[in-house]
């Protein structure tokens, strides 16, 4: 699942390449929209909403896409070779006279009336990189279920939109709590810091080619992807375990010394069947 800053960058690439230009090529390779032809329509722009992308066209039409785990939008010059993947992975092509945007492995692709975009994104919480950002509302959303593990609450886009698995692990480290600590057990002063800290991290990285959370020259991240290497602060080996509801578990990294709170639940024991 991409982070909010990755989606923000994708939106900017699409907007810069297509906005204000008429399409000379339109191709949607999903059965539901195979006959849709936008040739001749002007692209009004692309805006991100959390991890969603909304590309608007004249006539009140919006293309809603979501990258999920493996999707990508690539932009090419008119004579440039497409290198985003094999042709069978292409789901959408939007071409102008000088740029072509190609959507690969898009797991969500649908058309909406622009006035009805809330059908797709209305459930989202405040967007960390959007004009609707509201720190107080984001904090209230996070604290609404006190028993919920912190890591799961941060990933829930209904609470605040834009945090993915990398920022989840990094934010929990920076706040000094394990991702399994119930949100309600987080001291009030640290809980209050979470929304602002998350916003600062995403804003600092939205223009960077390489994501960084540490401020260190030779190390980009504190914990994510670093198990079992030593913690940058205390040298305790970083640990990793899956976190989620079983159907959407994600690898989660933490320092057992720097972060207070419980660790992951042990796997269920296997009972040996005996016969009399």
> Which pTM does this prediction carry?
0.91
**Residues 165 and 100 both lie in one domain:** no
**Residues 114 and 169 both lie in one domain:** no
The total domain count for the chain is: 2
In whole angstroms, how large is the CA radius of gyration of the chain?
21
Domain that includes residue 151, residue range? 135-254
Q: CB–CB of 183/148 below 8 Å?
A: yes
- 89-102 in b/e form (b: 16+ CB < 10 A) is bbbbbbbbeebbbb
Whether 266 shows a pLDDT value over 80: the answer reads no
Please provide the DSSP assignment of 177-235 as one string.
B-TTSBGGGS-HHHHHHHHHHHHHHHHHHTT-SS--SS--SS-S-SSTT-TTSBPTTT-
**Residues 115 and 204 both lie in one domain:** no
Residues acting as catalytic residues = 2-3, 51, 250
**Residues 98 and 178 both lie in one domain:** no
Q: Is residue 269 domain-resident?
A: no
Q: Is residue 51 domain-resident?
A: yes
**Average pLDDT of the segment spanning 267-274:** 48
**Average pLDDT of the segment spanning 240-267:** 88
DSSP, collapsed to helix, strand or coil, labels residue 173 as helix
**Average pLDDT of the segment spanning 73-83:** 95
**Average pLDDT of the segment spanning 58-67:** 97
Whether 39 shows a pLDDT value over 80: the answer reads yes
Q: Which of 98, 121, 144 is the last residue of a domain?
A: 121
Q: Is residue 206 domain-resident?
A: yes
pLDDT at residue 275, rounded to an integer: 37
Residues 6+ apart with CB under 8 A from 274: none
**Residues 115 and 172 both lie in one domain:** no
Best CA proximity match to 170, nearest among 141, 142, 147, 200 = 200
Q: Is residue 272 domain-resident?
A: no
Backbone angles phi, psi at 124, to 5 degrees: -75, 150
Q: Which CATH number fits the domain that encloses residue 9?
A: 3.20.190.10
Whether 270 shows a pLDDT value over 90: the answer reads no
């Amino acid at each position: 699942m991409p982070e909010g800053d990755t989606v923000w960058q994708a939106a900017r690439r699409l907007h810069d390449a297509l906005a204000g230009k008429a399409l000379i090529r339109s191709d949607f390779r999903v059965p539901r929209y195979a006959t849709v032809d936008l040739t001749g329509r002007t692209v009004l722009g692309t805006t991100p909403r959390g991890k969603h992308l909304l590309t608007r066209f004249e006539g009140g039409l919006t293309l809603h896409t979501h990258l999920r785990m493996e999707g990508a939008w690539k932009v090419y010059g008119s004579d440039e070779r497409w290198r985003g993947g094999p042709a069978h992975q292409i789901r959408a092509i939007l071409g102008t006279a000088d740029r072509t945007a190609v959507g690969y492995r898009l797991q969500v692709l649908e058309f909406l009336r622009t006035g009805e975009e809330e059908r797709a994104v209305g459930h989202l919480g405040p967007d960390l990189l959007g004009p609707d950002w509201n720190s107080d509302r984001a904090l209230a959303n996070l604290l609404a279920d006190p028993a919920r593990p912190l890591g799961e609450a941060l990933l829930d886009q209904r609470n605040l939109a834009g945090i993915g698995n990398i920022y989840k692990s990094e934010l929990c480290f920076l706040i000094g709590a394990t991702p399994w600590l119930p949100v309600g057990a987080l001291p009030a002063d640290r809980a209050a810091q979470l929304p602002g800290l998350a916003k600062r991290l995403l804003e600092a990285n939205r223009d960077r080619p390489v994501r960084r959370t540490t401020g260190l020259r030779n190390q980009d991240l504190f914990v994510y992807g670093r198990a079992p290497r030593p913690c940058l602060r205390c040298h305790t080996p970083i640990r990793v375990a899956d976190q989620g509801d079983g159907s959407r578990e994600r690898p989660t990294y933490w320092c057992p010394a720097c972060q207070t709170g419980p660790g992951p639940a042990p796997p269920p024991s296997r009972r040996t069947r005996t016969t009399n």
